[in-house]
Amino acid sequence: MTPAGRASAAIEVLTDLEARKRPASEALKDWGSAHRFAGSGDRAAIGSLVFDCLRQRASLGAAMEDDGPRALVLRALVSAWGMSPDSVDALFDGSRFAPEPLTNAERAGLSRALSPELPAWVRGDYPDWLEGSFAGVFGEDAAAEGAALSVRAPVDLRVNTLKANRDKVLKALARFTPQPTTYAPQGLRIAPRQGSARTPHVEADAAHGKGWLEVQDEGSQIAAAMTGAGPREQVIDLCAGAGGKTLALAAAMENTGQLYAYDANRLRLRPIFDRLRRAGARNVQVLEGGVEAGLAPLKGRMDRVVIDAPCTGSGTWRRRPDAKWRLTPEMLSARMADQAAVLDAGAGLVKPGGRLTYITCSVLPGENREQVDGFLERHPDFVLKPWRAVWESSIQADAPASADGSDETLLMTPRSHGTDGFFVATLERQA
Ligand SMILES: C[S@@+](CC[C@H](N)C(=O)[O-])C[C@H]1O[C@@H](n2cnc3c(N)ncnc32)[C@H](O)[C@@H]1O
């Protein structure tokens, strides 16, 4: 397909998305099935353009003074793909498969500077109803923090120390030019590709098949390390899902002690079995029973309880940009109720002197600090351990400031740490 044909396809997919209100991945898949002539490079480029439009939907629309699919694609080619307005003008020439030529209003939109007077949610590309939450956490930096959540993310890898080391993986993946991550001791980063260039499919590499590495954001790796889980401990990953944290914890525990993996939704656990096998993790017991059968025997016995809580995922909007525009206040309230429930369930499992680590991949205060405050009120036998000391005992690199300025809990963000948005609080049960 020509670049102009790909732009037409992206407009088509965005139009479908808007009309049918469904996930971008589904709309892209359907488009691919209906256009079998499109090669994998075409699909990747169309997908990248659609996702770039969604990441910056509010600011692209404001610049164009039009938030329709065609306007978003036009401006994304300039703002996100770095094309000049003239080259976009030349692309949209109305020839076969190309979009219609530009109007004068569209030409003006391609060069319009974004006014600093626009509301922070427009400049920062987040939903308007979250203006208060963003201002509450980030103050004057709300737009800048939002903007950093609205660009492409790198591919981060965690070297599985049960089977490999950084040098071995660096060599195996040399063609992707990975670099060591700034903070996570076993992390590697592959920088995001620009424009239509394809994101490397690391999971198709032999090194992944051999269990040498996992795809895991650096923030997630740091959060797992900050649980402090180590050899010979009794640890439960209470919201294990597909096992991203479980695998990191098993490696930190050097395959010793006992790591329990539990999830209220058994279906979510399904991929964990293959992943554990591939990674060579042998100290993990997946708890498939319900709360009574699975968790009751562990009451008050755990050195570490890890709660990677269900959340809105606002910290991962770089990777799932359509999710940010689909999020509603009702969904946020439902996640907050889930978080309080899982925190209460986790509290009962911690042994005296043991620790509960509360993690979200969200930047919203209702899911983070407010949950911790509510927990401490309901469970006066727990105290909050300031994050800096926890970081220093688990991560070798110097601790950067929390994105919200807190000395008690850690908020990582793309802008402040180059990671996805992650929140970590350490709660210790008094002996
Ligand atoms: C953020 S995801 C976990 C991701 C996973 N830890 C990883 O690193 O790949 C949150 C998980 O919590 C689970 N969950 C929600 N409520 C729960 C509860 N009350 N008890 C245990 N798990 C729960 C969800 O099913 C979901 O799989």
Q: State residue 22's pLDDT score.
A: 85
pLDDT of 349 > 70? The answer is: yes
Within 348-394, where are the H helices? 369-378, 387-394
Which atom of ligand 1 is the closest one to the Cα of 310? 10
CA 51 to CA 14: how far, in whole Å? 9
Q: Which residue has the higher pLDDT, 360 or 32?
A: 360
CATH classification code of 218-429? 3.40.50.150
- pLDDT, tens digit, for every residue of 34-50? 998 889 899 999 999 99
Residue 331 scores a pLDDT above 90: yes
Which pLDDT does position 193 carry in this prediction? 92
Looking at residue 316, its pLDDT comes to 98
Confidence of residue 356 (pLDDT cuts 50, 70, 90): very high
According to the annotation, is 308 in a ligand binding site?
yes
Identical fold, 155-215 and 218-429: no
Distance 334 CA to ligand 1 centre (A): 14
344 is in an annotated binding site: no
Pairing mode of beta strands 284-287, 258-262: parallel
How far, in Å, from the CA of 269 to the mean position of ligand 1? 9
Give residue-wise pLDDT tens across range 162-201.
999 999 999 999 999 999 999 999 999 999 999 988 888 9
Rounded-to-integer distance, Cα 144 and Cα 413, Å: 11
Contact 409, 424 (CB under 8 A): yes
CB of 310 closer than 6 angstroms to any ligand 1 atom: yes
- Using DSSP's 3-state secondary structure scheme, residue 305 falls into strand
Give the separation between CA 87 and CA 184, rounded to whole angstroms. 41
Confidence of residue 397 (pLDDT cuts 50, 70, 90): confident
> Which is the closest atom of ligand 1 to the Cα of 313?
1
Tell which atom from ligand 1 comes closest to the C-alpha of 341: 19
Q: How far is the CA of 397 from the centre of ligand 1 (A)?
A: 29
Residue 293 has pLDDT above 70, yes or no: no
Instruction: Among 259, 263, 304, 344, say which to mutate for ligand 1: greatest number of ligand atoms within 8 Å of CB.
Output: 263
Q: Give the pLDDT confidence score for residue 292 in this predicted structure.
A: 63
> Domain 155-215: which topology?
Alpha-Beta Plaits (3.30.70)
Closest residue by Cα to atom 8, ligand 1, is 244
**pLDDT-wise least confident of 73-77, 146-150, 387-391, 393-397:** 393-397
CA–CA separation, 256 and 401 (whole Å): 33
Measured CA distances, 298 to 233, 282, 351 (Å):
13, 19, 9
Q: Record the tokens describing residue 413, joined without a space.
A: 């963000």
Tell me, using a 6 A CB cutoff, whether residue 308 lines ligand 1.
yes
- Domain assignments of the chain as residue spans, ordered by start: 3-117, 119-148, 155-215, 218-429
pLDDT surpassing 70 at residue 289: no
pLDDT greater than 70 at residue 272: yes
Which pLDDT score is estimated for 389? 96
Cα(149) to ligand 1 centroid in Å equals: 23
Active site residues: 361
Residue 327 pLDDT exceeds 90:
yes
Measured distance CA(186)–CA(189) in Å, rounded: 10
DSSP β-bridge partners for residue 385: 426
Half-sphere exposure of 424 (CA within 13 A, CB side): 29
Q: How much of the chain exceeds pLDDT 70, in percent?
A: 99
Closest CA to 94 of 109, 84, 82, 106: 106
SS3 label, residue 21:
coil
List the residue whose alpha carbon is closest to atom 7 of ligand 1.
244
Distance CA(76)–CA(57), nearest Å, equals 9
| pLDDT confidence band for 431 (50 / 70 / 90) | confident
> Is pLDDT above 70 for 291?
no
Name the closest-CA residue to atom 13, ligand 1: 239
> Does the C-beta of 340 come closer than 6 Å to ligand 1?
no
- Separation of alpha carbons 313 and 299, rounded Å: 29
Atom of ligand 1 nearest to the CA of 291: 20
Question: Is the minimum distance from the CB of 165 to ligand 1 under 6 angstroms?
Answer: no
The pLDDT value recorded for residue 412 is 98
Q: Among 239, 367, 420, which residue has the most ligand 1 atoms within 8 Å of its CB, making it the best to mutate?
A: 239
Is pLDDT above 90 for 97? Answer: no
